[in-house]
Amino acid sequence: MKAYYDRRAPEYDDWWLGQGLHADRERPGWEDELRLLEGVVRDLPPVRTLDLACGTGFLTRHLRGDVVGLDASERMLEAARAQAPAARFERGDALSTSFGDGAFDRVFTSYFYCHLEEKERERFLAEVRRVAPELVVVASRRGDGDDSERWEERRLKDGSHWSVYKRVFEGPDLAAELGGVIVFKGNWFVVVRA
């Protein structure tokens, strides 16, 4: 998955913005809900926040406080540095960071938890609990007829094809799994704070 996201870095925000290979997707209400999601992120209290698997910084730029973004892809981090210049960014492994115990007040992650298989989820949650007392997860809502767990075939602009593990959620299921509460649930996105 690391290689996929490194190759996808130059076109990653196309998914958020409905451009490029995503321009023809039917997503009624997406833009309005995306603005609401950005507001939810912006309204989180400003604290020491670690954005794990921050990607291009598309949502990182809305986090307030002392923010550090971590990603395994240097290409993603290049985009994040440009998009969220107030944050600091480091390259590293989200499942085994170099940060000390309790180094942050919050871990934030967007569209990363949904790609972790069970053993990786266990490692991720142990790492989160080690570095911060709070976790905020942004994930996809499960659509009608969607399997909650699946392997997706994806194509990039360079013509390459990738098989990517993905989970989607109703909201209460993610909250129960994380031991948290839903802070936002729309047609497209769900945000849980634990």
Q: How many residues does the chain have?
A: 194
pLDDT band per the 50, 70, 90 thresholds, residue 124 = very high
3-class DSSP state for residue 127? helix
pLDDT at residue number 111: 93
The mean pLDDT value for 103-120 works out to: 96
Q: Is the pLDDT of residue 2 over 90?
A: no
* 145-178 tens-digit pLDDT: 889 999 999 999 999 999 999 999 999 999 999 9
Mean pLDDT of the chain: 95
pLDDT at residue number 113: 96
The candidate with the shortest Cα–Cα distance to 112, out of 165, 152, 38, 182, is: 165
3-class DSSP state for residue 140? strand
Which residues are CB-contacts of 15 (< 8 A; sequence separation ≥ 6)? 22
CA angle 132, 138, 139 (to 5 degrees): 130
- The total domain count for the chain is 1
pLDDT at residue number 4: 86
Q: Domain range holding 18? A: 2-193
The mean pLDDT value for 104-116 works out to: 96
CA angle 31, 190, 131 (to 5 degrees): 120
pLDDT at residue number 144: 83
Q: Is the pLDDT of residue 1 over 90?
A: no
Higher pLDDT among residues 18 and 90, named by residue:
90
The candidate with the shortest Cα–Cα distance to 42, out of 58, 55, 26, 31, is: 58
pLDDT at residue number 14: 86
* 6-38 tens-digit pLDDT: 889 898 988 899 888 888 988 999 999 999 999
- CATH number reported for the structural domain that contains residue 107 in this entry: 3.40.50.150
Structure tokens at 156: 């990039």
